[in-house]
Amino acid sequence: MGEFEAIRQADMKVATIGWRLVTANAALCDRLEPGTGLQLHTLEQFDTASRGAARAHFGFATPVAVEGVVAGSPADHAGIKADDSLVRVGSVEIAALAGKPMTTDRLVAAQLAIAALPADEPMVIEVIRAGAAQRFTLQPIPVCRSRFELRIAPDWSASADGTMVQIGSRFVEEYADDQLAAVIAHELSHNILRHRVRLEERGANFGILSGFGANVKYFRQTELQADLLSVYLLTNADYPQRAAIDFWRKFGPSKAGGIFRIRSHPAWRDRIATLEAELAKIAMLSVRPVIPALVDERDRPLDGNWNAIIIRHR
């Protein structure tokens, strides 16, 4: 398999897990978007050296195209296919979107504009497929508002900025699908709980200063909250509940212990103990979806009281 197809496959794996989480957990989200199952990409995200080859491989009759369609999603049912180039999605006209060349501006603008369309109204999608214009009608389903993206990087990175979840390629390469789902569920939890903006409201410093001073308590609180919510998201999406614990047992000792310990994050053994305690609570509940009280706090300022949530490893 060529490099472009390997990237597509990895990105679609992330998108498919994300789709399963946002569809199964719509009841936990107060910000919804029309779920389509479309995973988009842009020619602008390829560097100058690979751009010609990317155009030859993927087509790109317009600046934003369908990288893939999640199996069983509304886009799949509507007949949209990978490498269809987008002309229009509902009222969103791709050519009218602004963006600097060599950036993903237009892709992001397209994603945000589509996310702002009504969550449950049919949308007409116009594409160019093999040089010819085609129209499809897609019936979206309401899903939690978040997009998912692979980040090709040598480091161990995963992040959530409020609207996007980015997952480093090494997680996709080196972790089983269920454990990857746990990582994605953790990041999606940050978005559902609006952590980015709540940290900013507390004046938190991102980056290397996150492990110092008053920042620490807020970051630890958001980390633990995201861990807790992640097991509810996994449960509702029918992933193995222990996936988050399995992830930490593998990741913790080598990447989050000793010299790799990040001060802004709780110790991995304590995270496992906290997750175990929450799973014991969920085991008592038979109603689905399970909705933790935590989601009702998402509009409140962070109080930094992480000690109230953590269960210590003994």
Per CB under 5 A, residues contacting Zn ion are: 223, 226
Residue with tokens 């957990």: 25
Residue with tokens 């790799």: 260
CB of 222 to Zn ion, least distance (A): 7
Please report which helix (H) or strand (E) contains residue 269, including its range: helix 268-283
For Zn ion, give the closer residue by CB, 75 or 165.
165
For Zn ion, give the closer residue by CB, 67 or 223.
223
For Zn ion, give the closer residue by CB, 45 or 159.
159
For Zn ion, give the closer residue by CB, 128 or 226.
226
Q: What angle do CA 252, 256, 258 make, to 5 degrees?
A: 110
CB of 306 to Zn ion, least distance (A): 13
CB of 221 to Zn ion, least distance (A): 11
For Zn ion, give the closer residue by CB, 65 or 182.
182
CB of 120 to Zn ion, least distance (A): 31
Distances (CA, A) of 198 to 73, 161, 223: 32, 11, 13
For Zn ion, give the closer residue by CB, 42 or 221.
221
Number of neighbours of residue 65 by Cβ within 10 angstroms: 22
Which residue stretches of 46-104 are H helix? Answer: 48-58, 74-78
- Which tokens hold the place of 130? 């093999």
CB of 292 to Zn ion, least distance (A): 17
For Zn ion, give the closer residue by CB, 134 or 205.
205
CA atoms within 13 A on the CB side of 48: 1
CB of 279 to Zn ion, least distance (A): 19
> b/e map of 97-120 (b: 16 or more CB within 10 Å)?
bebeeeebbbbbbbbbbbbebebe
Helix-helix angle 215-236:177-192, to 10 degrees: 120
CB of 182 to Zn ion, least distance (A): 12
Q: Which amino acid is at 27?
A: A
Please report which helix (H) or strand (E) contains residue 168, including its range: strand 164-168
